């Protein structure tokens, strides 16, 4: 005790740094909590119905499971499976063509939306147009514009997916373009190449793998979007899904969902593999092999 008394100056030097103010983060947290509470209070959802998840849902799920495990080679189940699979394939076709349309439309647009390849004003305008396209749900696009023009069916769906894809694809691609190494551009400028030639030989080779990977990524998203467009009559498996739920044919609902899940998961896996391959580039596996061989030697 006496020792402590003999060292009064230490007290001053041991003042601890004060922690930085937490006011900002606390305020943010409170505001967010208030927003959520307000939403819960206002939404007039019947929360008691949540109990149905434990009472009703298991019964329906069991019914769905029965449909899945029925012998698929007997009528009418074989026909149900074939029908669902055929419609899912139609959804995939819509997604593929939609992605293709989106790719073709967004490729030139992305150069207009990149600040290193287009003038400022053009970039700002193009970006806002892309943002507006992104804001429109595909299903609304199908309902409002594509079905009136192309009629009911998968063509309208593919068109809706195509136009809908331009928003994200244009944005992602333009960001890839903005991320390029400027060196080759400068070199081509110094070699007397025109603006268009500079894009073709300095920008495109640098960004094409990324952009193609974005196309595949968008294809994966479009599979999901294409699976529901049928609800408004724009083709694909969505059309039958809506009818089945209205008719409460749980067995068929079950097998249709299984078809959607299995096909989507498989196509996702393939697409992801191809994307990795494209990003790594054809030279990369060879180079990696060379390294491995060198290590082995």
Left, alpha or beta for 46 (phi > 0: left; psi -120 to 50: alpha)? beta
3, 75, 196, 296: residue in contact with another protein (rule CB under 8 A)? 196
Count of positions on this chain that bind another protein (CB under 8 A):
90
1, 53, 75, 295: residue in contact with another protein (rule CB under 8 A)? 53
Contact string 8-37 vs another protein (x = CB under 8 A): ---------------------------xx-
Closest separation between CB of residue 297 and another protein, Å?
A: 18
* Residue whose C-alpha is closest to residue 88's, from 266, 271, 274, 275: 266
Residues 238-257 that bind another protein (CB under 8 A): 238, 241-242, 245, 248, 257
Q: With binding defined as CB under 8 A, does residue 186 bind another protein?
A: yes
- Of the pair 116, 206, the CB lying nearest another protein is at 206
With 0-12 CB in 10 A as exposed, 13-18 as middle and 19+ as buried, what is 12?
exposed
Closest separation between CB of residue 166 and another protein, Å?
A: 15
Closest separation between CB of residue 15 and another protein, Å?
A: 27
Contact string 259-288 vs another protein (x = CB under 8 A): -xx--xx--x-----x--x---xxx---x-
Is residue 250 within 8 Å of residue 64, measured between CB atoms? yes
Is residue 235 within 8 Å of residue 229, measured between CB atoms? yes
CA distances from 117 to 154, 165, 287 (A): 36, 22, 32
Cα–Cα distance measured from residue 238 to residue 91, given in angstroms and rounded to the nearest whole number: 8
């Amino acid at each position: 005790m006496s020792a402590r008394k003999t060292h009064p100056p230490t007290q001053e030097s041991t003042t601890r740094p004060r922690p930085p103010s937490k006011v900002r983060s606390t305020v943010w947290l409170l505001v967010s909590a208030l927003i959520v509470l307000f939403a819960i209070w206002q939404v007039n959802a019947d929360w008691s119905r949540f109990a149905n998840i434990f009472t009703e849902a298991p019964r329906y799920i069991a019914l769905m499971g029965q449909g899945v495990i029925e012998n698929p080679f007997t009528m009418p189940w074989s026909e149900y499976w074939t029908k669902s699979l055929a419609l899912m394939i139609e959804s995939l076709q819509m997604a593929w063509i939609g992605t293709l349309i989106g790719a073709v439309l967004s490729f030139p647009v992305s150069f207009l939306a990149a600040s290193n390849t287009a003038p400022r004003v053009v970039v700002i305008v193009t970006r806002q147009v892309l943002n507006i396209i992104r804001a429109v749900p595909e299903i609304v696009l199908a309902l409002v514009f594509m079905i009136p023009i192309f009629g009911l069916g998968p063509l309208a769906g593919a068109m809706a997916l195509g136009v809908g894809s331009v928003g994200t694809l244009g944005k992602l691609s333009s960001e890839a373009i903005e991320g390029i190494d400027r060196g080759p551009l400068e070199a081509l400028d110094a070699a007397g190449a025109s603006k268009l030639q500079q894009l073709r030989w300095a920008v495109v080779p640098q960004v094409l793998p990324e952009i193609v990977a974005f196309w595949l990524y968008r294809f994966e998203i479009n599979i999901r979007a294409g699976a529901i467009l049928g609800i408004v009559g724009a083709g694909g498996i969505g059309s039958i899904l809506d009818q089945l739920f209205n008719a409460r044919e749980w067995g068929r609902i079950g097998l249709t969902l299984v078809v959607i899940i299995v096909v989507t998961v498989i196509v996702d896996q393939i697409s992801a593999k191809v994307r990795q391959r494209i990003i790594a580039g054809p030279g990369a596996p060879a180079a990696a092999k060379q390294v491995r061989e060198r290590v082995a030697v």
